[in-house]
Structure 1
């Protein structure tokens, strides 16, 4: 919505490749670490949730593009890739995917297949998300609509944390 499709490409690539790297790391060892030290995973979830609530607050209170408090630029490739490591939803998805979709028979191969499939599906999905944002720009030019949209997106972000916080793992 704020930056256009072209300027957001590095952000999209960062999300895609950052998540792929996180997914591979989870598949190749981090899941076992969390199984042995569940308090580490709980701490990661809580830190990530606090950060996402902070982001929701920033979204809810952001103004129109160019307004004093709005984000000046999209995340860079490295910022978006690094963000995956503090995004609790990314961790839950990675841990769930590796638990559900890997095979003990040929574990390393199945981890790489899961990483490849998620990577192939992730980039076009994020591109559609970005394209929809570009399409919304004109609709959100009216301040009341933008405010409603921002508060709705912030509320949905906070609500998306509930299943993770409610789960016992």
Structure 2
């Protein structure tokens, strides 16, 4: 991969990773509700899960949609249902002192698996592979995955840190409840492009 293509890939990664989307909104909400330390598994699942998704997508998983078009409709339906459940969970998160001991952010595996039903992740993966790994050889695909791993980790830490910063302002249960409802609403709004396809 040439330096100019690598710079273009880094800019593409930054533009797609740092903008609001399901992962970032959930990381921010998790940081606000659980703090940085408890959100680390969720953060790591996003940071490593998406680059891990890039590799099989680059190697041909997308051919499933060409061979069996209903798979795209099924993926869209599963994505919407899962996002609705996550939005409900965020909206109804109790303030820390009222939260039961079982409440926790997403685990590493849950966050990594979420990438496969995240519409923004699919569009990012397809766009990156199409633009920056046109040969579909493993070397180019690994460069794309590595760029997303590097910048994705910085993005995930940034969004969790924003959430923990907001946490200080949300000391009152009513404020936290409003924040959670706004985050849930934004998560649902991030689904609008999927629903309009």
- TM-score (norm: length of structure 2): 0.76
Are residues 1:39 and 2:70 paired?
A: yes
Equivalent pairs, count: 166
Higher helix residue share: 2
Give the structure 2 partner of residue 129 of structure 1: 159
Give the structure 1 partner of residue 4 of structure 2: none
Runs of 4+ in 1 over 3 A off after TM superposition: 68-71
SS of 1:74's equivalent in the other structure is coil
Give the structure 1 partner of residue 20 of structure 2: none
Query: Which residue of 127, 145, 157 corresponds with 1:96?
Result: 127
**1:73–1:61 Cα change, 3 Å:** closer
Q: What is the distance in 1 between the residues matched to 2:132 and 2:101?
A: 40
Give the structure 1 partner of residue 82 of structure 2: 51
SS of 1:75's equivalent in the other structure is coil
Are residues 1:26 and 2:35 paired?
A: no
TM superposition shift of 1:81: 1.6
C-alpha RMSD over aligned residues: 2.0
Give the structure 1 partner of residue 104 of structure 2: 73
CA contact (8 A) 1:98 1:111 kept: yes
Give the structure 1 partner of residue 170 of structure 2: 140
Give the structure 1 partner of residue 9 of structure 2: none
Using the TM superposition, name which of 148-157 and 35-44 deviates more: 35-44
Q: What is the distance in 2 between the residues matched to 1:33 and 1:4?
A: 39
TM superposition shift of 1:152: 1.0
Q: Kindly provide the CA deviation profile for residues 114-146 of structure 1, in whole angstroms up to 9, marking residues without a partner as x.
A: 111111110010001111111111211122321
Q: What is the distance in 1 between the residues matched to 2:93 and 2:100?
A: 6
Give the structure 1 partner of residue 181 of structure 2: 151
For structure 1, list consecutive stretches of 5 or more residues without a partner in the other structure: none
TM superposition shift of 1:161: 0.7
Q: What is the distance in 1 between the residues matched to 2:179 and 2:52?
A: 32
Q: What is the distance in 2 between the residues matched to 1:11 and 1:36?
A: 33
Q: What is the distance in 2 between the residues matched to 1:50 and 1:70?
A: 26
Using the TM superposition, name which of 89-98 and 42-51 deviates more: 89-98
TM superposition shift of 1:41: 1.9
Q: What is the distance in 2 between the residues matched to 1:96 and 1:20?
A: 13
Are residues 1:116 and 2:141 paired?
A: no
TM superposition shift of 1:68: 4.0
SS of 1:137's equivalent in the other structure is helix
For structure 2, list consecutive stretches of 5 or more residues without a partner in the other structure: 1-31
